[in-house]
Structure 1
Amino acid sequence: MMVNSRIFRTAGPVALALMLAGAAASRAVAQTAPANAAALPGSSAELSASPSLGAATAGTGMPAPGLSGTVADKTAAMAASVRDIFDRVPCLPPKGISQSTGALPHVAAKLAAHKAVVIVAFGSSSTQGHGATSPEFNYPNRLAAQLHRKYPAAAITVLNRGKGGEDAPEMIKRLRTEVIDAKPDMVIWQVGTNAVLRDLDPASTVKTVEDGVATIQASGADLVLVDPQYAPAVNARGETADRMIRLLNKVAHHRHVGIFPRFEVMRDWHDRQSLPFDTFVTKDGLHMNDWGYACFAQLLGDDIIRSVDQVQAGVRLQPAATVNRPL
C-alpha cells in the first residue's frame, strides 16, 4: 500500500495505523458470511468475517517504533477496533434477551493483572466444530480471535474440548482430565442437545450437569453453560428440548453460574430476523455452518467482554444472569 507522505505528516501516526489496518482488513476473504449476507437486516458487504487467525488477530501488545507508550497504546486500540469491524459477521443480537453470562470475576481479575487466561470450551460436536468448513471456523477459534482483538496484550488460550456424540454422562467422565487439569479460568460448557436427540430423561441429564457444575465451581473457574441449538432436528423433539432448556436455566440460576441462551438466540435469527435455517444450519438440520458458528461466537464474545469490562470498571454484577424463561 502506498501512503502519501503529505497525508502522513498531516494526519499523524494514529491515522496511518488506521489506514493500514483498514487496508489489510479489506483484503480479507469473506468466507464465513452467508451468500445473502448483503440482504441481512442491518448488514453490509463490508462487514464480513476474515478466515485468518494470523497476524490480524494475534496482537503482540508491543509499541510501534518511535511512538510514546500512550500514543502507541491508543494507536493499537484504534487499529484493533478497525480490525474487529472487518472481522465481524453481519449478525444482529436478539432483542429482549439480556446479558446472560453473569459476572466473570476470575477472568476479569486475570486480565486486569495482565496474567495469562485459559478458557476451556467443553461440549459435543457443536463445540468440536462439526459443520464448519475448517477448524478455524469453529466457535472456540472464532471466540479466541475476538478476545485477542479486544485484549491484544493478553495471553489468552481457548482450548477446544468438544467431542462429537457426547452428552453429560460421557462428558462427566473426562471432566477432570480434559477440563479441570487444564486449570481453566473459565469454562464454557455446551450440553443437552444429544440427550434431547436420544430422548433421554432431561432431569437425569441435568442432575449430572449439576454435579459437573459443582466440580467446576470448586476449581475456582468462571462458568457459562450453553443450552441446545434451535434447529430442525432439535425442534422435532420440542417438548423434550423445552424441558431440557428450562432445567438448565434452573441449574444456572440456583448454582449462580452464567448461561448463554443459544436456543433463544437462534430462534430469534429464524423467527424475528427471518433468516432461513440454511443461513446458519447445515443440511443435516442440526449443526451450525460457518456463519452460524461465527455469529454464535461473536455474541458470546460480546457478552464475555461486556462482563469483564464491567467488573474491571467496578460495576457490581449479579453472580449470574437471571433466567430468561419462566421456571
Structure 2
Amino acid sequence: ENENRVVFMGNSITIGWLKTRPEFFKGKPYINRGISGQTTPQMLIRFRQDVIDLKPKVVTILAGTNDIAGNTGPSTLKMIMDNIKGMAEMADANNIKVILSSTLPAYDYPWKPGLEPAGKIIKLNEMIKEYANTHGHIYLDYFSKMVDERNGLPKKYARDEVHPTAEGYMVMESLVEAAISEALKN
C-alpha cells in the first residue's frame, strides 16, 4: 500500500503539469494536488487533507509565486516562508520526506503587470534553500535551470511568463525525479 507515494502540492504550475504532461504522472504513485491561483496560506489550510491524510512517503511543495503576485492580498517574504515552514513541519511530524522547490522565475505576471517580481523570487528562493539545508529537507532548484537573462522564464519554457510549456515541464521532470529518488534513499 502507498508504495513510494508522492504528493505534488502547489498552484496552477502544479495542476498545469498534469494537464500538459499527463504521461509524466501516468502509472506512477504520484498524486497531483495543485490548485490554480493558490497562495501559501491556502495550501497550508488544506495540507492535512491533501497531503498528510494520503500518507505519502514524500511531498514536493512548489509555492510562493501567487503570494508575490498578491493573489490573496499583500504578503511579505516572511509570511510566505512561515507558511512553507508550517507545511514542512506538518509533513516532518508525520514522517513524510519534504522536497522544497524553488519558486519558478517570473519576469512579470500577465494578470498583474508591473510588479517586477524577479528580485523577490530570487530572495525567496535563497530563504527556501537556507531553510531546507538547515532542516534536513531537499531543496529542488528549478530556478537556475530555467531562468533567462531577464531573471524570467524564456519563451521555450513558458507560454505567458509564468506557466510552463511541455518543454519547461520536461526540464522540471528530470529534476523532480532526481529529488524524489534522493528523498526515498534516506
Q: Residue in 2 aligned with 1:203?
A: 78
Per-residue CA deviations over 1:147-198 (Å, capped at 9, x if unaligned) read x6xxxxxxx4100000011121000110011110000111011011111222
**1:186 paired to 2:58:** yes
Contact 1:118 1:157 in 2 (8 A): yes
Q: Which AA in structure 2 matches 1:221?
A: I
**Which amino acid is the alignment partner of residue 137 of structure 1?**
R
Residue among 234, 241, 257 paired with 2:121: 241
Residue 166 of structure 1: SS of its match in structure 2? coil
Q: Deviations over 1:65-96 (max 9, x none)?
A: xxxxxxxxxxxxxxxxxxxxxxxxxxxxxxxx
In terms of Rg, which structure is larger? 1
Change (3 A) 1:258 1:302: closer
Change in 2 beyond 3 A, CA 1:164/1:218: same
In 1, the alpha carbon distance for the partners of 2:168 and 2:80 equals 26
Pick aligned residue for 2:15 from 107, 125, 128 = 128
Aligned CA-pair RMSD: 2.5
The CA deviation at 1:302 is: 3.2
Return the alpha-carbon distance in structure 2 between the equivalents of residues 187 and 169 of structure 1. 17
Change (3 A) 1:288 1:214: same
Aligned to 1:230: 105
Q: Size of the alignment, in residue pairs?
A: 175
Q: Secondary structure at the match of 1:224?
A: strand
Note the 1:53-68 alignment, pairs <5 A. none
Any unmatched runs of 5+ in structure 2?
Answer: 110-114
1:254 Cα deviation after fit: 2.1
Equivalent residue, structure 2, for 1:277 = 154
Which of 304, 310, 323 is the matching residue for 2:180?
304
Once residues 246 and 308 of structure 1 are traced to their aligned partners in structure 2, the CA distance between those partners, rounded to angstroms, is 21
Percent identity, please.
Answer: 19
Which residue in the other structure is 1:67 paired with? none
1:290 paired residue number: 166
SS at match of 1:117: coil
Q: Distance in 2 between matches of 1:124 and 1:173?
A: 14
**Residue identity matched to 1:182:** L
Contact 1:231–1:277 under 8 Å retained in 2 = no
Distance in 2, matches of 1:136 and 1:204, equals: 31
Residues 196 and 237 of structure 1 are in contact (CA less than 8 Å); yes or no, is this contact kept in structure 2?
Answer: yes
Instruction: Tell me, in whole angstroms, the C-alpha distance in 2 between the residues paired with 1:204 and 1:302.
Output: 29
Q: Secondary structure of 1:184's partner? A: coil
Retained in 1: the 8 A contact 2:58–2:183? no
Q: Secondary structure at the match of 1:122?
A: strand
Q: Separation in 2 of the partners of 1:304 and 1:258?
A: 9
TM-score, structure 2 normalization: 0.83
SS of 1:232's partner is coil
Going from structure 1 to structure 2, the CA distance change for 1:117 and 1:261 (only over 3 Å counts) comes to same
Shift of the 182–249 alpha-carbon distance from structure 1 to 2, 3 Å rule, reads same
Secondary structure of 1:253's partner? helix
